[in-house]
Each structure stands twice: as C-alpha cells, then as structure tokens.
Structure 1
Amino acid sequence: MGALRSLIICFAVFSKIPMPYIDWEKKDMKYIFCFLPLVGVVMGALFIGLNLLAQRFNVPETAFGIISFAVAMLLVNGGIHMDGFMDTIDALSSHKSRDDKIRILDDPHTGAFAIIYAIFYVLITAYILGTVDNLAEAVYMAIVFVFTRALVGIVAMSEDLAKNSGMLYTFVSSANKFVTAVICVVWLIASISVMEILAPVRSIITLGVVFIFVMLFQNMNRKHFGGISGDLMGFFICVVEFICFLIMGIGDFIC
C-alpha cells in the first residue's frame, strides 16, 4: 500500500495526469523516485503514438516537432522541469554569492538569460524530435525519457542537499535511499540496454557525454549551491534529455 501511495504522489507531483487525492505522509514518500521513470514511460508512449500518427497522416516535420514537444515534454509534466532549468540558468547567470543564487532559484520572476536559453532549448529540441521518421528512432527517443528519470533518481539519492527545506528535501529525507537507488539502477540498466540495441554507436557516445556532464553537474552544485535542489534536478533532466536528443539527431554526421 505504501508503494501505491508513493506512485500516486510521484505522478501528482511530476505529471499532470489526474490522481486520486491522498494525504501526504512521510511513510508514503519512501519510494517516490522509484516511480519517476514511469512518468518517462508515459511521455515516451505518447511520443511514439504521436510519431506513428504523424507518419500515417504525413504531418510536416516542423508541426510534428512542435506538437510532440508540447504534448510529450510539457503537457504531461506541466513544464516542472523546464521551470527548474530556467531558474538554474538565472541563478548561474547572476554571478552572485551562493546564498543569492539559492534565493534566485526560489524567485518566481524570470530573467532574460532564462528566456533566451529556453527558446534555444525548445527550438533545437522540437526540430530534432520533428526529424524522427521511423519507429526505431521514435522508441529510442521515448526511452530517453525513462533513462533521464532513472539517472536523476540515482543522483538525488547520492548528492548533498542545498537547503533543508523544499519539496526535494522532503522527498529525499523521507526516501528509502537503498531501495530507491537499486530500483533506479535497474531502470537505468534496462533503458541503456534498449538504447544500445537500437543505436549502439550513438548510445555509447551519448553515455560518454552524459557521464562527463554528470561530473560537471556535481562540481557545479557543490561550487555554486552547496548541493542539489528541486530546480537543479529539473535542470539536470532537461540537459540530459537535450544531450541524448542532440547526439541522436546529428548521428548521421558522427557515426
């Protein structure tokens, strides 16, 4: 029953899929990150479905890219990760002290740098998604949503927190870290295995680049924020997804 309640809380927070109302108790938050990759499964299934429809009805690439980004990447999760991405860009662009950067993460206002980076992110990602014209590539892109959320669960369980408050603090402090880490590793191995089958060379390159980014991300957290926060996790998911999509998109040039 506790696992089911963790599933409900996970989807209530990280997606816009309607969930039954329940009271949030600490014992019900032990396994939230175990189910986060399932949100990626829903996003991926939607993307595959949209891709099949686009091919069936000859939808133009640009239109499909915009629609798939809006539905699979924004409508399902409500833009919660993009919000974290933009807040992190604002904080890093401020070049202020650590405490000021943490305050900027909580600031509801949006700065110019966040808007510029978000526009760039949306345009490039939507363009790449729009170029997917076969089922194998569509499944690969869909698996990326699972891969990133499994990876973020592992990072969340292993990194120090930037502050002793906020949603991420509540979830991480309530989590069964060992069980969560093990299940997220299983999700990660499964998603990597599928990626390797579908695009061996590009997936190896992707894993190498993502590994480098994870190292840089950890250093950035410790240097600029003193640890991780919910916004930084949103930033992490957005950047890892972008890396995966970008390498897949330009694979014809590097493979």
Structure 2
Amino acid sequence: MTFINRLVSLITSVLSSIIISFSTYSIIPMPRVEWDEKNRKYSLIFFPLIGVVIGGVLCGWWGLSGVLGFGVFMRSAVALAIPVFITGGIHLDGFIDTVDALGSYQPKERKLEILKDPHTGAFALISCSVYFILYFGALTEMKSLKAYIMLSLGFILSRALSGLGLVLFRSAKKQGLLYAFSSAAHRGITGFLLGLILFICLGFLLYVDRIGGSVLFLMALLIFWYYKRVSYSQFGGITGDLAGFFLQVCELAIVIAVAVIL
C-alpha cells in the first residue's frame, strides 16, 4: 500500500505541475489545483509542452490551409496569431514592457519600475509593430511543411532555454511570478530534465535538416547568452518580463532563420 500511495502521490504531483504550467503560460482551460510549493516545484519542466501544443496546431493549420485553398497571406496571418492566442500574449507583454524599460536609458531601479508600469510607451508600440511586420514577412517566405516543422520545434527550444534561465540565472527581485517558480523549483532535477528536453529537441532539428537545425540551435544559444548579459547588466538579474522578452526575440530569430535557410 505504501508503494501504491507513493505512486498515486507522484502521479498527482506531476499532473498538478502540468496543470499549473499550462494555467500560467497558456489560455488552455485547465482544472483548478492547489497552488502550493509541492505542486509548483516541477512545473517548469512541463513548460516546453506548451511549445509542443503550439507546434502541433501550426502544423495542423498548414495542412488545413492547403485543404481550404488559402493563399500565403491568410496562412501566414493565422500562423502569426496562433502562438499569441494560445499563450494569451503573456510573453509578448513581457517583450513590450522590457523594450520600454530598455528604451528609457534609466538606472536599474527605474527600469525595474518601468517593467511593472501598466502603461505602454511609444517605443514599445513601435517595437511591437516592427516585431509583427518582421514575423509576418518571414512567415510568408515559408512555403513547405518542413519549414513549419522546424518553426514548431523552435517553440519547444525557446521554452526549454527559458526554463533553464529561470533555474540557472539569478532573479532581479525576491517577489513576483518568476521568483515564485524559480524558488520553488528543485533546481537539480528541473535543470537536468530541461537540458535533456533541449538536446532531444536538437536531435529532432538535426533530423529534419542538419545544417538548418545546427544554425537554429546555435543562434538560440547566442540569444540566450545575450538575454543573460542584458538582464544582469541592465536589471541586475532576470524577471518574468525579461523571460518573455527572451522568448519573443528567440522565436522571431528562429522564424527569420527558417525563412532564410529553407
């Protein structure tokens, strides 16, 4: 009975962690669970699963748009909206807040205040508009299922790296959503499993296209390094908004790279 009880407890904990991860980083309806340290501890491990969902929907949309006879502009417009819709724009919000703070050229303390400011500045609006124009333009150049598969793997790659950042990098604040996740996470197990997911993703990228997969992976690592450097030098550490900024920049770079390579 002891073994069965432990097994049930483990399964319940895993399911609760998955639910918390999806409830936090997507708008996919989930049942309610207790938001405690035990259930939250391993939720970051399942963050890349949201990338799997986004990638699956994108590839499904590629097939459906062909059946419906949609042209490249309609296909690209919906493909652009899919990640934003599934995530509820949570990472895009972080991107907007971060570019506002970076564009202010204020001291660290003031930049952190700007991240919490609900108002959107002109620099953020301009940056967001340019972001969507570049993203949409890159999507119009993707004319094969292979390109969409590579793009889909990028959503998993970016989230595995983002989760690793939450575990490995120091937090700029001792409060907030990011700190709640990173402080509760079992760093050893979470870091190991996210690293494993990262290299599994690399394996799939290389299987789909050896050169393209290598370029995408190295580029994502470079942006990951840039994310740490900017976070530490400009903010004193990472925050939830900065994590969203990294995710959006990484995914923009990936879609442009896929468009160029394939």
Alignment TM-score > 0.5, same fold: yes
Runs of 4+ in 1 over 4 A off after TM superposition: none
State the alpha-carbon separation in 1 of the partners of residues 140 and 193 from structure 2.
32
Aligned to 1:246: 256
Which residue of the partner structure matches residue 164 of structure 1? 174
Spell out the pairing of 1:127-146 with structure 2 (5 A cutoff): 127-146=137-156
What is the distance in 1 between the residues matched to 2:215 and 2:78?
28
Contact 2:142-2:258 within 8 A present in 1 as well: no
Distance change >3 Å, CA 56–CA 133, structure 1 → 2: farther
- 1:199 equivalent in alignment to 2:209: yes
Structure 1 length as normaliser, TM-score? 0.95
Match of 1:23 among 34, 37, 42: 34
Q: Which residue of 2 aligns with 1:35?
A: 46
1:41–1:142 CA contact under 8 A, matched in 2: yes
**In structure 2, distance between residues paired with 1:130 and 1:43:** 18
Letter in 2 for 1:239: V
Instruction: Give, in angstroms, the shift of residue 69 of structure 1.
Output: 1.3
User: Structure 2 CA distance, aligned partners of 1:131 and 1:151?
Assistant: 26
Q: Which residue of 1 is the match for residue 6 of structure 2?
A: none
Which 10-residue stretch deviates more, 205-214 or 94-103? 205-214
Q: Which residue of 2 aligns with 1:14?
A: 25
Matched to 2:63, the amino acid is L
Give the partner amino acid of 2:50: V
| Structure 2: segments with no counterpart, 5+ residues | 1-11
Shift of 1:127: 2.5
Q: Do 2:142 and 2:148's aligned partners in 1 also have CA atoms closer than 8 Å?
A: yes
Number of equivalent positions: 251
Cα shift at 1:130: 3.4
Q: CA deviation at 1:203?
A: 2.2
Distance 2:39 2:204 in 1: 31
Instruction: Measure the CA separation in 1 of the matches of 2:140 and 2:32.
Output: 36
Whether the 8 Å contact between 2:161 and 2:224 is mirrored in structure 1 is no
Distance 2:107 2:70 in 1: 48
Could you tell me which residue of structure 1 aligns to residue 8 of structure 2? none
- Structure 1 gaps of 5+ residues are none
1:123 corresponds, among 133, 150, 169, to 133
2:206 & 2:260 partners in 1: Cα distance?
Answer: 17
Q: How does 1:201-240 map to 2 (within 5 A)?
A: 201-240=211-250
Tell me how far apart the structure 2 counterparts of residues 134 and 56 of structure 1 sit (CA, whole Å). 14
Alpha-carbon shift at residue 214 of structure 1 (Å): 2.0
User: What's the C-alpha RMSD, in Å, of the aligned pairs?
Assistant: 1.2
**CA-CA distance at 1:57 after TM superposition:** 2.4
Letter in 1 for 2:158: T
**Structure showing greater Rg:** 2
